[in-house]
Amino acid sequence: MLTAPELLAELARLGSDVGDEIVSVEARSIAEQLVRRTVNVLVVGQFKRGKSTVVNALLDEDLMPTGALPLTGIATSVRYGSPASITVELHDGGQRDVPPSELPLYVTERENPKNRRGVARVDVVHSAPALRGITLFDTPGVGSVFRHNTAAARAMLPRADAAILVVGPEPPIGAEELAYVREVAQSSVKLFVLFNKADAAGPSLDELLAFTRDTIGDVTAESTEIFAVSALLAREAQRAGRGEPGFERFVNALRAFVDEHGSEALAASLQRRANALLDRAGAFLRMREEAIVLPQSERAQRRAALESALQALDDRVRFLGLIVDDDVRRLRLKLDEELDRRHDRERAAFSDRASEIAAEPSPHRRHDAIESAVRDRAYAWRHDAVVQAEGEIAGFAAKYVRLLGELEDAVIRAGCDALHIDTGAFVPREIAFAPAKLTLPVSLDPATGLEVVRDAMTELLPPQLRRTLLQRRIARLLESELDALRGKLRYGIAHDLEPWRRSVHVTIASSLDATRAAVLGAFPDAGQSDDEQRARESTLELRARFTTIRAEIEGTFAGVAI
């Protein structure tokens, strides 16, 4: 009788032997979650909802960086354990232990722009009681996918068993967040909804809570409790040695779920994923069994028919690629149009601001006021562009997952049809696309020379004339900065969306290539009698291994306890 880890190792080897590396990679991912024996909980939400502050309140420590700038697309996991540690793993295979003070160097956009340090992931071990039996994944934003599209990253970031969706009053829950709610409701056991910054909602709190509850209910088709909290006030109370009632109620609900249902949720998650992989491996094995007993000439005919059927699917593959390109093109156009609208709206506001700045008697304060005005608008524009783009991309990714899943299903069915196999229903595998790292320009500081406001000759003019001249100069300067800002953001949007577009194409191609290879690999090229015999013996051995795994894996995770 094999143990669960041994069965998963066997399943990984079986996947490789039937020619499907997808089964092999995902079996190893399940094994990794089994070793940890934790419920995987994703903390997600729109940019500036306060996700990292929520994590810090769960830890009772200001560990995760917070602030106005977004994090990079790096997954940061936080799990229960002792002693406390932070391990940074790099794409080149290296890793290093870092103190808490250095964590921002690796996970924030300011210190690690566009992940120039090559960070693959960050693992945090922490002894906070709220974390018992939990691995938290702090995500950069709702527009980011929860697992990377490469095989290595898929093994690092397993699917969610539960999720904490952080929403808030400004703005209320939107389309991009609802898109994620749909995904969580379909693939995980539990969804917690935190209405963060509830203290900022004022008298509208009850109305906003009701709107959030009804909106989410329309998506999940069930009642979802909304926890009204302020993670920031919770941290202030914790520092003073007190508790914050709203946040404590959420923590108690989270702990009750993990303590009462965590083991059950983990076992169900592992079992469901393992069964789906077995079904996939079983389909390829069945193809091998049917193909190997055919006469060589008929097998060649069936393979030719399969290749023809696969070629017929190429138009659908190309069409999916065109959909991706068109989506990205339309998104760029939409963001450009929004930048133009903001530019026109801001020109009037900048004109009024120029008058205020010109009234400032100190040249240094005028200089600082101009920089502040430009920078405030720069970060506001960037924030809004990121939020809009991430919302659109979340919808794109959900569509691509569905279309790619249908294509993979069609490839497998083509193999079954070529061998006259009744396929039945396939459980679609989990597919994820890489997050779009929408950092936009790193530097949004004023671009033109601000020394115009320090002109010594200007200071010698009569006050009214000086103010009029300064106002004109400042107005021209601010308008020039506005034009420069629009150009920077346009460049940043194009610069950041293009790698994501290419990565989506790579994911589609690699996924379909792997599935095609597994289907075609079911038709052995054996020609000599000795080769035929070895192929038959190999197929019989694969069936025996498959039968053993299938018989033993059902219920094998039932005893897993967190």
> Which pair of tokens denotes residue 514?
């792997």
Among 237-251, 308-322, 359-373, 410-424, the range scoring the smallest mean pLDDT is 359-373
Percent of all residues in the chain with a pLDDT value above 90, rounded to a whole number: 25
* pLDDT over threshold 60, residue 73: no
CA distance 396 to 388: 13
Q: Which of 285, 317, 287 is nearest to 302 (CA)?
A: 287
Q: Which of 116, 94, 106, 36 is nearest to 64 (CA)?
A: 106
Burial class (CB in 10 A: 0-12, 13-18, 19+), 215: middle
Among 113-122, 372-381, 552-561, the range scoring the smallest mean pLDDT is 113-122
Query: In this predicted structure, what is the pLDDT of residue 144?
Result: 35
Query: In this predicted structure, what is the pLDDT of residue 13?
Result: 94
* pLDDT over threshold 90, residue 307: yes
Exposure letters 286-320 (e unless 16+ CB within 10 A, then b): bbbbbbbeeeeeebeebbeebeebbeeeeeebeeb
Query: In this predicted structure, what is the pLDDT of residue 456?
Result: 46
Is the preceding omega at residue 171 within 30 degrees of 0, hence cis? yes
CA distance 267 to 558: 6
3-state secondary structure of 147: coil
CA distance 75 to 206: 34
pLDDT band at 145 (very low <50, low <70, confident <90, very high): very low
Query: In this predicted structure, what is the pLDDT of residue 158?
Result: 40
Number of H helices, E strands in the chain: 15, 9
Mean pLDDT on 397-409: 86
Is the preceding omega at residue 446 within 30 degrees of 0, hence cis? no
pLDDT, one tens digit per residue, over 404-454 is 988 988 999 999 999 998 866 565 566 767 666 676 765 656 654 444 444
> Which pair of tokens denotes residue 242?
């007190």
> Which pair of tokens denotes residue 489?
């953001």
- Give Cα 86 distance to the centre of its chain: 21
* pLDDT over threshold 80, residue 100: yes
CA distance 316 to 328: 19
CA distance 545 to 541: 6
String of DSSP letters for 22-57:
HHHHHHHHHHHHHHHT-EEEEEEESTTS-HHHHHHH
* pLDDT over threshold 80, residue 78: yes
Mean pLDDT on 465-469: 67
Which residue in the block uniquely carries the two structure tokens 């808490």? Answer: 100
Q: How far is CA 137 from CA 41, 70, 382, in A?
A: 6, 16, 25
Query: In this predicted structure, what is the pLDDT of residue 516?
Result: 93
Query: In this predicted structure, what is the pLDDT of residue 467?
Result: 65
Query: In this predicted structure, what is the pLDDT of residue 305?
Result: 92
* pLDDT over threshold 70, residue 275: yes
pLDDT, one tens digit per residue, over 314-361 is 999 999 999 999 999 999 999 999 989 888 887 777 777 777 887 777
CA distance 42 to 54: 12
Each domain of the chain, given as residue ranges in start order, spans 37-243, 296-523
* pLDDT over threshold 60, residue 152: no
Query: In this predicted structure, what is the pLDDT of residue 112?
Result: 75
Is residue 71 left, alpha or beta, with left meaning phi > 0 and alpha meaning psi from -120 to 50?
A: beta
CATH topology of domain 37-243: Rossmann fold (3.40.50)
CA distance 406 to 404: 5
pLDDT band at 390 (very low <50, low <70, confident <90, very high): confident
Query: In this predicted structure, what is the pLDDT of residue 252?
Result: 94
Is residue 315 left, alpha or beta, with left meaning phi > 0 and alpha meaning psi from -120 to 50?
A: alpha
Q: Which residue has the higher pLDDT, 483 or 541?
A: 541
Q: Which helix or strand (DSSP H or E) is residue 90 part of?
A: strand 85-90
Query: In this predicted structure, what is the pLDDT of residue 318?
Result: 94
Most confident range (mean pLDDT) of 223-227, 300-304, 446-450 is 300-304
Which residue in the block uniquely carries the two structure tokens 């989270």? Answer: 254
Query: In this predicted structure, what is the pLDDT of residue 22?
Result: 83
